[in-house]
Structure 1
Amino acid sequence: MKKISKFLSVALGLSMVLAGCSSKEETGGGVSGENEDGKKELVIWDWTDPYLDDKKKPMDIVMDSYQAENPNVELNIEKITNDSLRTKLMAAASANNLPDVAFLDGQWLAEFQAVGMLAPLTEYTDESGHASDYPEKVWDSVVFDGEVYGVPGDGDVRSLLYRTDLMEKAGLDPASPPKTWDELIDVSTKLMEAGKDEGVKYGFALNGGDSEHTSMRSLPWIWDMGGSFVDEEGQPALNSPEVVDTVQFMSDLVKKYKVSPSDSYLNKKVEVQGLVNSGQSAMAIVGSWEWRSDASFLAQEGLKGKLASAPIPVPNGEDPDKAATAVGYGVWVVFDHSKVKDEAWEWIEKVTSPEHQVNIFKDGTGNMPLRLSAYEDPIFTSDPVFQTFVDILPNAQPRPKTLNYELLSQSYRQAIQLVLSGEMTPQEALDEAQAKAEAEWKE
């Protein structure tokens, strides 16, 4: 490890200093592993959403089951918004007060692993057989130098949402959605014409705002062409031909073909959801969780029976049967300082079990399982929309495994905004993004 981010290196340095001058009992339950009643204390930091009143049933089941099987353990769960968790963990590292367990956004794992905060879990995962029950690329994302440092929880994929009623009205086969860029443009134009009398303004709602969703919904196009945000040596590749071609296509959707909103450079997930639910857009790339929670596409009265899902259309000349999709997920980790690692692993086994992941999909946040065995549940054949998620999972790819991911994604999104707003060409904006990434790169 040559260099690490200044933020993480400072946090790690402070945690080491504090560890050297503090007794275990002074540093909180996460370090001592025991509370005032003599019970072992398991300190867990988790995302807020699974504990909301309308989504908490699956977590209630897990907590009740864990407590019944571990009466000598007191669960201390702090619920933290995903946007705040990374900052709070850095502050906790500086104060030598990290939890035992946390649910990290998968894109942060390489960064935390690089500074030695995390405990290897290989002995646990080898015994449990977890590796064989995940898509290969997903499992590879948690392995560093042969050691496992996290276990993926529930997650999501992205697919094309489209209006079947407008397909019929335009004289198109609803069972044959667009599969390539050219077809996406052609179908978008026809759906706009077919739906103009009922308020359809756009064929395709495009994510172009400063949001991670912009990266996650366009990365599949880059991957389809064999590219990525990084090259084979793991160095930044934001101005590679594959990235330039993708951003040029996004620009053409807005400026040349005018099938996407002119203000797409401002449109984040919420704006795209609004365009679909209001009937203004006929198609969009959306996340699997948005169908049943968040945007609740399937529950929209005006759209019932009119929506379908399909793989994301691929760049011209690429194989539609191999259409990539971006998979997002949280990762359960154990911090190296923890004195209750066995108890922490028992928690992780419960919250990553196939049964729990199915419950999350049915009764919780709507996130989908990443455990392959979970798809034996009949819920996934109950609706063609859900079946699409299963069908595309083999082509799912996680974000590049680099501690520089946030730098890459932010630089890329800023380039897209500059292009879609008309301030720069794709090549100019991505050359600038590449220069920024190279200047701030961490090895």
Structure 2
Amino acid sequence: MKKTLTAIALLLAAPAAHADEKVTIEFAYPYSHLFDVTYEKILPKFNEQFPNIEVKIRATYESYEDGTNTILREAVAGTLPDVTMQGLNRQAILVEKGIAKSLEPFILKEETFEKDGYHDAMLKLGSFNDDIYGLPFSVSLPVGYYNMDVMAKAGITTVADLPKSWDEVVEVCGKLHEAGVRNPMFWGWNITGNWFLQALMWSQDKATMEGNAFQVSSDEGLKSLETMKGIFRGCDMQNIEWKAALASFSAGEIGMMFWSTSALGAVERAKGDFELKTNEYPGIEASGPKGLPAGGNAAMLVSSSEDPKVLNAAWEWLKFITSGEGAADVARTTGYMPPNKAANEVILADFYQQNPNKETAVRQLPLLRDWQAYPGDNGLAITQVIYDGIEGIVTGEFDDMAELQEQLDEEVSDLLPSN
């Protein structure tokens, strides 16, 4: 009898032990200075809801370009994580090379999953051949950051008086220089993916890429390059690395900084004792930009595992961070906007009224345009060619913008697919 009871007890215990087994998934994301605090908020909530899933976080990527390069290397080495966060403009290459898995099989099993809960433009960037491969996690737009204590030295004391065009920005730089401000402005030319070049192009309602054609060869492209030169020369902008620029602005040393809204949370946590205001991104014309590129990143399933338990666990994590409460923590801890309606309209109903600096990007959502990738296998190389060209404007190496335009067109066209 005793043996029988023992056997029954073991049989009953077996499923319980099996249910308690932990499934471990690996996850990698970029920009630790922006997102560490976000995942510190999200992980405990996920662990409470899914105690049998352990999320092992890998070393963070330095940038979106680094993230894509890392995944490409890991695909060859067979060391891929299960879920990766990739820049919105870097998803295509992982789909084309068969590294990213379609999320459609998982979505179809979800009775309550609604695709229209995500911002359409963001979901579109993660969709290929009518299948979704990336769920948007965070949305950013370029904005102006202003140290109002410094701006007062140029006679600007209210948000209404802040510059609305790049010519006005240069004019303010002159006044700040006269007031003794050594570094009045930083313009984020060195942000990932040539984002600010695309911002100038979209400001004129012109795409940087049309098919496989590089549109910086257009009149709008020349105007973009000339605008950069005018900003850099007119403001005597220092050539500093972007992390140093964020630190310098947070320390109160720069009056105006034009950067992604993504850094707002980090700036607010690090800033000195000064009044910080954000405002809409200036335009080439005083009427403002006609469009702006959507920045941010998306969650992609790149697991090499064939174990359904691992794949389902990775899906639960991917779904959790991009919807509802998980997505809301993006807004609470950074300056990004969650691309999920439930997060924006329900969970964060009063959030933007209480955090007006974070509302600036929300007001610009009607301007949202694609953050374009450069097609083909040389997309990262093209990004570097353009980066080097813009840096040459900053350093003074290039002075003739028509000549630089011709050089960029030639070098980029050589790297693009021929059809």
TM over 0.5: yes
Indicate the RMSD between aligned Cα atoms, in angstroms.
3.2
Is residue 161–residue 307 contact of structure 1 (8 Å, CA) maintained in 2? yes
Between the two proteins, the alignment pairs up a number of residues equal to 386
TM-score norm. by structure 2 comes to 0.80
Structure 1 counterpart of 2:212, from 234, 243, 262? 234
Greater Cα shift, 237-246 or 79-88 = 79-88
Alignment of structure 1 residues 292-307 onto 2, 5 Å: 292-293=265-266, 296-297=267-268, 299-303=270-274, 306-307=275-276
Q: 1:191 to 1:352 in 2, by over 3 A?
A: same
TM superposition shift of 1:368: 3.6
Partner residue in 2 for 1:359: 329
Picking from 250, 275, 283, the partner of 2:228 is 250
Q: 1:292 to 1:140 in 2, by over 3 A?
A: same
Post-superposition CA distance 1:252-305 (Å, at most 9, x none):
2233x3x232x4xx3231232244234442211122232221xx24652332xx
Give the equivalent residue in structure 1 for 2:68: 86
Retained in 2: the 8 A contact 1:207–1:268? no
1:102-155 deviations in Å (ceiling 9; x for gaps): 222333210010112222223544655443233322111011121111111134
1:206 maps to 187
Provide structure 2 residue ranges, at least 5 long, that are not aligned to the other structure: 1-17
- Superposition map of 1:40-55 within 5 A: 41-47=23-29, 49=32
Normalising by structure 1, we get a TM-score of 0.76
Q: Is the 8 A contact 1:111 1:402 kept in 2?
A: no
* 1:192 Cα offset (Å): 3.7
Match of 1:287 in 2: 260
Question: What is the alpha-carbon distance in structure 1 between the residues aligned to residue 341 and residue 264 of structure 2?
Answer: 20
1:388 aligns with 2:360: yes
- Alpha-carbon deviation of 1:188? 2.9
Q: Aligned partners of 1:253, 1:52: CA distance in 2, in Å?
A: 30
Structure 1 residues 250 and 97: alpha-carbon distance in aligned structure 2, compared to 1, 3 A threshold: closer
Pair 1:51–1:43, CA change in 2 (3 A): farther
Contact residue 150 and residue 334 of structure 1 kept, 8 A:
no
For residue 372 of structure 1, the aligned residue among 334, 341, 352 is: 341
Q: 1:330 aligns with which of 298, 306, 315?
A: 298
Q: SS of the residue aligned with 2:54?
A: strand
For residue 381 of structure 2, give the secondary structure of its aligned residue in structure 1: helix
- Provide the C-alpha distance between the structure 1 equivalents of 2:171 and 2:102, rounded to a whole number of angstroms: 50
Paired residue for 1:150? 134
The answer to whether residue 153 in structure 2 is matched with residue 182 in structure 1 is no
CA distance in 2, matches of 1:416, 1:39: 53
Deviations 1:69-106 (A, max 9, x none): xx3xx535241321354344333322444343322233
SS at match of 2:194: helix
Aligned partners of 1:62, 1:235: CA distance in 2, in Å? Answer: 46
1:161-176 to 2 correspondences below 5 Å: 161-172=145-156, 174-176=158-160
Please tell me whether the aligned partners of residues 418 and 429 of structure 1 are also in contact (alpha carbons under 8 angstroms).
no
Offset of 1:366 from its aligned partner? 5.6
Give the direction of change, closer, same or farther, for the CA distance of 1:411–1:346 in structure 2 (3 Å limit): same
Amino acid at match of 1:343: A
Equivalent of residue 380 in structure 2, options 368, 390, 406? 406
Offset of residue 361 of structure 1: 3.5
Partner Cα separation in structure 1 for residue 35 and residue 92 of structure 2: 29
Point out the more displaced range, 282-291 or 82-91: 82-91
Letter in 2 for 1:383: N
Q: Is the 8 A contact 2:27 2:56 kept in 1?
A: yes
Deviations 1:384-411 (A, max 9, x none): 2011122123323342144454233222
CA distance in 1, matches of 2:269, 2:167: 28
